Each structure stands twice: as C-alpha cells, then as structure tokens.
C-alpha cells in the first residue's frame, strides 16, 4: 500500500498544545511539511524547533486567531506561497465551557461558537481552493459530545452537534470536488481545553480543580494516542466518521443501544460524578 503521508503539506489549527501539538509531531514524523496555526507564538516557535531537530522538513509557525476570518485568509495564502500547496487541513482549535444553562449568557454561547464552529469555517473557506487543486483531505476534530448531550456542558455540546451536522451535510459536496473528509469524535482527552475563560482567552493560572477535571476521573486518553488514531484513520478518498478512544466508543455505543440511557445515568449519578471529576 502506498503511504499517503509522504511529501504532503498539512495545516493544523490549535497546534500550540493538546491534540494539535501531538498531531504536528506525529505528522512530521510521517514526512509532512507543516503550517502550524495558533495564538501562542512562543509555543509554536518551540514546537517548530523540536520538529526540525527530530524530523527535519519544513515548518511554518503562524500566529493567528481562528475567529479572525480576514486574518486567517491572509495568513493561509501567505503560508501557501511558501510551501506551495495544502494536502491536509486539520480544524482542531477549540475550547470548552462548564456551567449550568441558567448561569451562562448568550454571549457565552456566541463566544464558543465563534471559536469552535465559525473558527472551523474560517479555516476551511480560505483553504478550499487549495484542497480542490490537491484533491486533499479535511480533518475536523469533533467530540463524542456531538453524539449525546450531558449536563453542565450545553454550550460546548451545542458546538459539537453543529460540527457533526456540518460533516453530515457537506461530505458529499466535498466528495464531488474530489476532497476527502475525516470527521473525528475523540472521547475525553488530557489537554488544556479547559484552561480558558468563557470568552476563550487562556487562563495563565490553572487551579487544581481544573487540572483534575481534564483527567475526567482518570479515563482521559493522551493527545499522542488520539493523534496516532487520527493519522491511521486518514482516508485515501471519500469520507468517514471515526470515534476515537476506547471509552468514547463504549459511550457512543451505549447511547446508540439505549437512547437517553447514558444521559439519564449521568443525571441520576450527577453528585458522585461531579465529586469525582470536578471537585
């Protein structure tokens, strides 16, 4: 089988930490040249140095906010002028909000949608002509919480449902263009996803409570494991949806087997779960 990862260029958003950073390292090892997009320029520069030292290849760190549509288009065009093409684009940037619906505001919902969903579109639209030319691949990082909703996560869950709806709606449109589409739904992952305030700005001082919450009671997968699974799932053509992580597959199966059963279980055991995962 021909290795589809050789001599390709990938653009990754949210590359400064978590799944995005792990994907950058894993794809560099596979021979990809990289465009690394993120808001923390210092981390992107450090990641570039690490990749160059370990794997070589071409790496362009790009400091940009996915909420800035004009900025994303300008910087994607500039990056393509340097590397010549885009073969794979990974829309990964995002954050989460924890809180009861009654304690959130419409601005909280707008802010998270602007990053998680509109930020995805701001990444895909400027890249679309290049992907059509290369017959490339779109990778969108969703979540198992795009398959079922849980308490205290309504804002985040809503963005992930929207992303799944987007995938199911445009996959055949992209297929007509010769563009492949991989929609991934990781389970819980140990990242800095929760190290943000409600507006999506990084919190420099992270509490022990937030650090514990990222482990989700000890079941969270590592970003490196998720990145490896995403690369294995890259389609040579067409489209596919993949649930990533073992516990994620179990949760999605249980929800399919007994609709509302998982949400009901979480509700009935909410106090114990909150104590174990959050407090």
User: Domain ranges in the chain?
Assistant: 9-277
Per-residue pLDDT in tens (0 to 9) along the chain, 279 residues: 334 455 799 999 999 999 999 999 999 999 999 999 999 999 999 999 999 999 999 999 999 999 999 999 999 999 999 999 999 999 999 999 989 999 999 999 999 999 999 999 999 999 999 999 999 999 999 999 999 998 889 999 999 999 999 999 999 999 999 999 999 999 988 765 555 555 555 555 545 455 444 444 456 789 999 999 999 999 888 999 999 988 889 989 988 888 877 778 777 877 776 665 543
Query: What dotted CATH number matches 9-277?
Result: 3.40.50.720
Contact 106, 162 (CB under 8 A): no
Tokens 């004009």 belong to residue: 70
Residues whose CB is less than 8 angstroms from the CB of residue 87 and which lie 6 or more positions away in sequence, other chains included: 8, 9, 10, 134, 136, 137
Q: How far is CA 232 from the centre of its chain?
A: 16
Q: Kindly list the catalytic residues.
A: 156
Q: How many CB atoms lie within 10 A of CB 45?
A: 15
**Confidence (pLDDT) at 197:** 54
Helix (H), strand (E), coil (C) string for 89-104: EEECCCCCCCCCHHHC
d(CA 207, CA 209): 5
**Count of all residues that appear for the chain in the document:** 279
What pLDDT sits at residue 198?
A: 55
Residues 6+ apart with CB under 8 A from 256: none
φ/ψ of 10, rounded to 5, equals -120, 140
pLDDT at 30: 95
Q: Is 123 helix (H, G, I), strand (E, B) or coil?
A: helix
| pLDDT tens for each residue of 4-43 | 455 799 999 999 999 999 999 999 999 999 999 999 999 9
Q: Cα angle at 216 between 89 and 91, to 5 degrees?
A: 10
The pLDDT assigned to 235 comes to 87
């Amino acid at each position: 089988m021909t290795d589809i990862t050789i001599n390709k260029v990938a653009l990754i958003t949210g590359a400064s930490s978590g799944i995005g950073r792990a994907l950058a390292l894993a794809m560099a090892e596979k021979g990809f040249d990289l465009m690394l997009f993120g808001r923390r320029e210092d981390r992107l520069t450090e990641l570039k140095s690490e990749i160059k030292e370990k794997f070589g290849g071409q790496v362009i760190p790009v400091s940009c906010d996915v909420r800035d549509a004009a900025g994303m288009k300008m910087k994607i065009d500039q990056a393509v002028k340097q590397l010549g093409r885009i073969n794979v684009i990974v829309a990964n940037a995002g954050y989460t909000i924890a809180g009861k619906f009654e304690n959130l505001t419409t601005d909280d919902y707008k802010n998270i949608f602007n990053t998680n969903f509109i930020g995805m579109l701001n990444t895909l639209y400027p890249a679309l002509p290049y992907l059509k030319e290369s017959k490339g691949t779109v990778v969108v990082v969703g979540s198992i919480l795009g398959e079922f909703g849980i308490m205290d996560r309504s804002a985040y869950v809503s963005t992930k449902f929207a992303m799944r709806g987007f995938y199911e709606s445009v996959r055949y449109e992209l297929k007509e263009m010769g563009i492949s589409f991989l929609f991934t739904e990781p389970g819980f992952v140990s990242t800095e996803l929760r190290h943000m305030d409600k507006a999506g700005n990084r919190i420099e001082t992270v509490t022990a409570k937030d650090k514990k919450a990222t482990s989700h009671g000890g079941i969270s997968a590592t970003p490196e494991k998720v990145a490896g699974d995403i690369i294995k799932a890259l389609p040579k053509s067409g489209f596919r949806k993949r649930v990533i992580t073992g516990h994620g597959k179990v949760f999605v199966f249980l929800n399919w087997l007994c609709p509302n059963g998982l949400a009901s279980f979480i509700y009935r055991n909410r106090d114990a779960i909150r104590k174990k995962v959050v407090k």
